[in-house]
Amino acid sequence: MTLARPIEPITASDGELRDALEVADLPALLPALAHVTGDLGLLREELRVDATLMGEDQGGLTPEQQGAIRALALETLIAFRDGGSVAAPMPTGPDLRVILQFMAGGLDIDDYLPMMREELALDSDLRAPHWHKDDVAPDRPFEVVVIGAGMSGIVAAYRLAEAGVSYVVLDKNADVGGTWLENSYPGCRVDIPNHYYSYSFAQRADWPLYYSPRSELYAYFRRCVDEFGIRPNIRFDTEVSSVEYDDATARWTVCTVDADGNERTIEADAVISAVGQLNRPQLPQIEGRESFAGPAFHSARWDHDVDLSGKRVGVIGTGCSAAQFAPLVAEEVGHLEIFQRTPNWQFPVPHYRHEVPQGFQYLLQHVPYYRQWYRFWLFWKSAELLRPMAEVDPEWPDMSTSVGEGNDLLRQMLTEAMLPQYEDRPDLIPKVIPQYPPASKRIIVDDGSWAEMLHRDNVTLTTTGIDRIVPEGVVTVDGELHEFDVLLYGTGFQPSKFLTPMKVVGRGGVELHERWAGDARAYLGVTVPGFPNFFMLYGPNTNIVVNGSIIWFSECEVRYVMDCIRHVLAGRHRALDVREEVHDRFNEEVDAENLRMAWGVSTVNSWYKSDSGRVAQNWPFPLLDYWTRTREVDPSEYELL
């Protein structure tokens, strides 16, 4: 299934095509044209991207290469149009390999080939469950409860429906969308390219912006739910308070509370938690916070009734959320003071807030398979490219500002992008340029808005620590009172407290949070020993820092969960429970690898670590590892009940 409109024949004139090519994404263009025409001769070696430059604009292609690609593409598109816009048959396996090899910029792709083919999703959805309950266990009643109707819960619902497995989705909110419903702060948008930050099974060629604002994403998820017929299976305003496993029946009892406080229970054979990591706001632990006299709210609980115009506004926090809302708030308020505890590295993306030009839109919607190849290119260049730049070199002499050669290169690149923005404000430079290794914290996507905001006359950046909050405002550690009418908290979430406040009781009455003791762990982020048929999406160690998108992870996780369910049904088991030693060995590997990454060794504040200092959030290995490990279940890793 796809939300993309059917491809229409090209009717544009030569001149219109020439103009469209001026604004097209070029690294994906020749592969798409080779595919659609069957002419692999278009893949000229001298027009190939260089893997080391992929992160740059147009994949680092030189102006000469770009000109040559446009000329070749124009000639090809004119011939294609004049021939009636008839696409060549789907490339054979060897031909597809040649095209993928061209796009990979000279990298050895053999290990990646199956993953690449699947990600391309050219003519079939290879991630779909290739089984149906009617064939596997037609007479067995099997009910699944999915908790959460956000991005990952929708994937689960979609795949369960495909496999004919009965399910219900429960969500505490009044609508779908999860994070994209709850975060309505000004400027909220995705920071992963949108043609890629979307379901592989619901691609769109007509995203209006490269990075959609929240309203567009919210509309997309709502549309998916409606078009896929998922909405009737969702119970809104229904918060799950507890889920409890019954050893005797091998079933789960799910207790819910609705908006009126009514409690209900639902029985299920399997439970999929899709509650996200970043949905419980963290208000800062600052003395006197409650005493502030004016309105004060968190970015994820934006109070749109509070009029900020002309007001004295304080912002505490400078992470991804504040980086999006503060520049817009600054335009409205009388004075904005930003309290920064730690500066952030920023990654330059000049088109972060740009619309996709009409010409490029036209090509995406009229050149068959260009949409898929463009999406794949976005995936590929972000897949493993930056990961080596976050790797620790144990021999690196000083780990305080970088952790290895690649990381130091990244540091230089980011510094070079940030410094010129403050040329005329040298006073800001020591405050805004971080002194810790990049990728220790999330790198913020930036198009210059932050620096522009800091240049405004009505904005102050304060780096003196906060001592307390008083009714009039904020008192810093130097004793100065900073008076405000409104306080805004961009202070993040409580990601280490996975699944809270839900109670999850497994075999033998063990409660999951007691087992975790503040340090959440799972096998592949999905299963935990002692919790049969309980599956997590975006669970422990499935967050990514420099590579991939969370949607990609959720799709891998759901495929794995679907294979778990298939095993249970096909083997006539009641449930499966991951073996303790498998879980422990996996976590040892993850912990060791996280200590080989910048975010693992750096001591800077980040939400990637639990209270014990262990990285409980991040996936440290290449994406290929996660894809390979979640492709199918190894039954020997599970106790089959």
Contact with ligand NAP (CB under 6 A): which of 146, 154, 275, 316?
316
Q: How far is the CB of 115 from ligand NAP (least distance, A)?
A: 24
Q: In which residue are the tokens 């799910």 written?
A: 254
Contact with ligand NAP (CB under 6 A): which of 414, 451, 466, 616?
466
Q: Which is nearer to ligand NAP, 205 or 545 (CB)?
A: 545
| DSSP assignment of 39-98 | -GGG--GGGSPPGGGTTSGGGG--HHHHHHHHHHHHHHHHHHHHTTSPPPPPPPHHHHHH
Count other C-beta atoms under 10 Å from residue 500's C-beta.
14
Q: How far is the CB of 188 from ligand NAP (least distance, A)?
A: 7
143-147 and 270-273 beta bridge pairing: parallel
Q: Which is nearer to ligand NAP, 74 or 283 (CB)?
A: 283
Phi, psi at 169, each rounded to 5°: -105, 135
DSSP3 helix / strand / coil % (the chain, rounded to 5): 35, 15, 45
Q: How far is the CB of 282 from ligand NAP (least distance, A)?
A: 7
Q: Which is nearer to ligand NAP, 189 or 559 (CB)?
A: 189
The residues, any chain, with a CB within 8 Å of residue 541's CB and separated by 6 or more, are 521, 522, 525, 587, 590, 594, 615, 616, 617, 618, 619, 620
Q: How far is the CB of 317 from ligand NAP (least distance, A)?
A: 3
Q: Which is nearer to ligand NAP, 190 or 270 (CB)?
A: 190
564 vs 561: CA distance, rounded Å: 5
| DSSP assignment of 537-570 | SS-TT-B-SSSS-HHHHHHHHHHHHHHHHHHHHH
- Site membership for ligand NAP, residue 285 (CB under 6 A): yes
- 331-350 positions binding ligand NAP, by CB under 6 A: 339, 341-342
Interface characters, 175-204, with ligand NAP (x: CB under 6 A): ---------------xx-------------
Phi, psi at 143, each rounded to 5°: -115, 135
- 468-497 positions binding ligand NAP, by CB under 6 A: 490-493
Q: Which is nearer to ligand NAP, 311 or 442 (CB)?
A: 442
Q: How far is the CB of 283 from ligand NAP (least distance, A)?
A: 9
- Site membership for ligand NAP, residue 318 (CB under 6 A): yes
* H or E stretch covering 348: strand 346-348
Contact with ligand NAP (CB under 6 A): which of 242, 458, 460, 605?
605
Phi, psi at 173, each rounded to 5°: -90, 175
Q: How far is the CB of 463 from ligand NAP (least distance, A)?
A: 10
Contact with ligand NAP (CB under 6 A): which of 531, 534, 607, 626?
607
Contact with ligand NAP (CB under 6 A): which of 286, 363, 378, 616?
286
- Site membership for ligand NAP, residue 353 (CB under 6 A): no
Q: Which is nearer to ligand NAP, 30 or 616 (CB)?
A: 616
| CA separation, residue 296 to residues 63, 292, 334, 473, 486 (Å) | 50, 8, 17, 10, 6
Q: Which is nearer to ligand NAP, 210 or 493 (CB)?
A: 493
Q: What is the 3-state secondary structure (H, E, C) of 221-252?
A: HHHHHHHCCCHHHEECCEEEEEEEEECCCCEE
Q: Which is nearer to ligand NAP, 404 or 492 (CB)?
A: 492
Query: Residue numbers of the site for ligand NAP (CB under 6 A)?
Result: 190-191, 278, 284-286, 299, 316-322, 324, 339, 341-342, 442, 466, 490-493, 605, 607
